[in-house]
Amino acid sequence: MKRISIKSLARVEGHGGITVRTEGKKVKDVKVQIYEGPRLIEELVVGKSPEDVLNVVPRICGICSLSHRYAALRGLERALSIEVPLRTKLTREFMLLAEIIQSHSLHIFFLSLPDFLGRASVMDMVDNYGEEIKSALAIKGFGYWVMETVSARMIHGENPILGGFGAHPSKKALIGIKKKAEKLISDAERAVELFASFKYPSYVERDTTLMALNPPDGKYGFVGDSLLISTGEERSVEEYKEVIQERVVPYSFAKRSRHNEKPFTVGAIARMNLLGKRLTGEAAKHFEKLYSKRWMKNPFFNNLAQAIEILHCIEAIPELVDRIMKLEEPVVKKPSKNSGTGTGAIEAPRGTLYHSYSINGGSITSCDIVTPTGQNLDDIEEYLKTATENLLSKGTEDDLELKLEMVVRAFDPCISCSAHLVSVI
């Protein structure tokens, strides 16, 4: 029996490790361990007001805090029957696009790109890839700039509130963002071409199930009330507990998820497989040129999918700004009741994020949060098993640990998000 142990995964958000036990060329056991301790968020908000919830739950993560705030808003507003006006919906969509731009650019340029260029880190790339790094910083900085403009802070912005916004972005700010987005489209296209130039390894390929929200009106997007599954099913987000069966394992502080007792994948690779034909503009042209059936079974294509999504988001912003500026600035919608139950879901950068709340007399009585990384963990272990057995059978064991780390990094895991549960059995 041989044991492969990677105690600390490099270039991922949070702290985790991998242990693989093999016998001959067969894998006996794979564990992705999450070391970060639980932060008890779901219990902390019980007894709090919906407004207080919005101040607490985004602290799950410093990278996708707006995604958590947006999903919480959707769940709480559904519970309290608050219907926000169109300008508020568009401005929230606007802030989510920005967070996807900054989060994806962090992952593909600074965490994954060194793998494909044979470098140890982004600092090790400065000599030959200075222009690519400048472009990456410009795209990432743009995402943070829009997030700060809309939410009032770069991280953990408090401006998106129940029923609307504390203040809407000014016309001057929106025009500036539109002009900057138009200039960055060519940078985003070069990023797609860069990630399309890599030969993605096939040792990891296997069939799986994919899930993503179904945005309305047949468009590509990141918000929806129903869930598309690659098996052909479509289910309401209110049925998420029937669709996703959560479980815990003794070696990790993060929950796991299965669908019909099988692992599945969410995130950019799932969205691109299920919704890619809905893309428009230059993003659609790149997708049509680059897409193949290998995207259904190879998580390394998540990097290319994220690059295309950055292009899509930057292309979408000028049109979105024009629509927002044509609408009157609305007042904040107030709830007409103080009790109810509601589930909100959005596509966070790493995949579908659920926030579900029950409220009684203005106080939270229950909270349930299901994160994308928690949903992907079981599938990551299955891909690691496939990769290990294929590499061992071919006798290509050089840099085995690095190759396994690359599999995990391809999923862009957010370990801090995943380790928020109440207790580990």
Mean pLDDT of all residues in 261-276: 98
Task: Identify the residue with better confidence: 297 or 396.
Answer: 297
Token pair belonging to 249: 């394992």
Distances (CA, A) of 251 to 30, 32, 37, 185, 326: 11, 8, 12, 44, 53
Residue 57 is predicted with a pLDDT of: 93
Residue 259 labeled ligand binder: no
296 pLDDT higher than 50: yes
Residue 168 labeled ligand binder: no
pLDDT tens per residue across span 51-73 = 999 999 998 888 889 999 999 99
376 pLDDT higher than 60: yes
Distance CA 202, CA 48 (A): 49
Residue of 217, 221, 236, 138 whose CA lies nearest to 184 = 138
pLDDT tens per residue across span 209-256 = 999 999 999 999 999 999 999 999 999 999 999 999 999 898 888 889
Residue 420 labeled ligand binder: yes
Residue 313 labeled ligand binder: no
pLDDT tens per residue across span 315-357 = 999 999 999 999 999 999 999 999 999 999 999 999 999 999 9
Distance CA 287, CA 304 (A): 9
Tell me the whole-structure pTM to 2 decimals. 0.95
pLDDT tens per residue across span 193-218 = 999 999 999 999 999 999 999 999 99
What confidence tier does 419 reach under pLDDT thresholds 50, 70, 90? low
Q: Which long-range CB contacts under 8 A does 272-277 form with residues at least 24 apart? A: 272/301, 272/305, 272/308, 272/309, 273/210, 273/230, 274/210, 274/211, 274/212, 274/228, 274/230, 275/212, 275/214, 275/215, 275/220, 275/228, 276/220
Residue 202 is predicted with a pLDDT of: 96
Q: Which domains does the chain have, with CATH numbers?
A: 2-418 (1.10.645.10)
Residue 367 labeled ligand binder: no
Mean pLDDT of the chain: 93
Cβ atoms within 10 Å of 226's Cβ, excluding its own: 16
Radius of gyration of the chain (CA): 21
First to last CA, the chain: 28
Distance CA 415, CA 254 (A): 8
Contact residues for 22 (Cβ-Cβ < 8 A; gap 6+): 1, 2, 3, 4, 28, 388, 392
